[in-house]
Structure 1
Amino acid sequence: MAENSDFADLLDANRAYAQDFALGGFDGVARAGVAIVTCMDSRIDPLRMVGLSAGDAKILRNPGGRVTDQVLVALVLGTHLLNVDRVLVIEHTRCAMASASEQELQGRIGASSGTDATWMSLGAITDQRAELAESVHKIASHPLIPDTVKAGGFLYDVDTGLLEHVV
């Protein structure tokens, strides 16, 4: 398959990255025993923000950093098969998912796409602290996640880089 120029810069960067790649043969467990559930926001560097490196943690990202059914599946796998014993759920300040209502987000998507988006659930967050508490509860009460797994909810300040332990 011919290389697409739309991705040439990224493929060039990948070749440079691969020149001193050190994770070959790694078994994929979370070496630090950590899973991080966080938003897809590009201002968040989930490993470095808590002093970890590649291979130390499982990273699960989605809009808003929500603990969804798919995230719970990943956490069940992580806790039983991949050495995860601590889970950080991290939402952040100035998040688009927490800065607008569901209807406003749908309207913005509709305006951008030229297509009605009211049929799609986007998952707007009306109260981040309550959402974090609910997310931590989902993890703590899941029948397939061991009671020994510690879960915490955190709010990341995108302007200072600091985490606040909420729950």
Structure 2
Amino acid sequence: MNTFHTLLERNQQFAAQQSAADQHSPSLPDALPHVKAIILGCADMRVDPAHVLGIQPGEAVVMRNIGGRVTPGLLAQLGMLGRIGQVAGKVPGGGGEFHIVVLQHTDCGITRLANDSAMLTDYFEVQQTELEAKAVTDPHAAVAADVAALRETPGLPPDWLLSGLVYDVATGLVKTVVAPSPVAA
């Protein structure tokens, strides 16, 4: 059996478990009014933010890219999510009720691209002179840089919370690099 067929088989098992669970509990709620967080994480298959942070369906939007980085593409996706919420009339609230978490990790593959400045400048859409500030070899500095970039992003509600974590792939623990504080802190 190949990977594709294995995934389809697992989906059938998942669907059967969901059907059995739905007999004893309500079905999943409409996602938009229940989302309390957006987790920005890395695409690394070892670091699934939902698994690492124990996120249940409906609790958070998990967005993943290479390095778990704040890039122009990710900012565009955040803008689209905000617009979806506006159209649906369900924009998440602030006042400590909504949180954006930047989650990066140790031993990240993006560090292996540190000497490929052409690829990294293209990915971050920055000039060569701005690349060092992206701190691709240090996840702690990268988290701090990305949280700072989010603080400078126009349109984020000032009372939403921002924070930054680094997941240690060796221990399974996360470390707070940037404690939660409002966007307009």
The reply to whether residue 45 of structure 1 matches residue 48 of structure 2 is: yes
Question: 1:17-96, aligned counterparts within 5 Å?
Answer: 17-21=14-18, 26-29=29-32, 31=34, 33-78=36-81, 81=85, 83=92, 85-96=98-109
**1:140 aligned partner, one-letter code:** R
Tell me, yes or no, if the aligned pair for 1:102 and 1:122 is still in contact at 8 Å: no
Matched, 1:140 2:143: no
**Partners of 1:41 and 1:7 in 2: how far apart?**
19
Q: Shift of the alpha carbon at 1:158? A: 0.6
Unaligned runs of 5+ in 2: 86-90, 125-134, 179-185
Deviations 1:79-130 (A, max 9, x none): 57253720110110011112442429x8xxxxxxxxxxx7994568133333
Q: TM-score, normalised by structure 2?
A: 0.68
Secondary structure in 2 aligned to 1:91? strand
What amino acid does structure 2 have at the position aligned with 1:28? A
Whether contact under 8 Å (1:98, 1:126) holds in the other structure is: yes
Query: Hey, what does 2:164 align to over in structure 1?
Result: 153
In structure 1, the residue matched to 2:116 is 103
Q: Supply the distance in 2 between the matched residues of 1:119 and 1:142 (Cα, whole angstroms).
A: 21
TM-score of the superposition, structure 1-length normalised? 0.75
Q: State, as a whole percentage, how many aligned pairs show the same letter.
A: 30
In 2, Cα distance between equivalents of 1:12 and 1:166: 40
Q: Which amino acid aligns with 1:83?
A: P
What is the CA distance between 1:58 and its match in structure 2? 0.3
What is the CA distance between 1:42 and its match in structure 2? 1.1
Structure with more of its chain in helix, by fraction:
2
Alignment size in residue pairs: 152
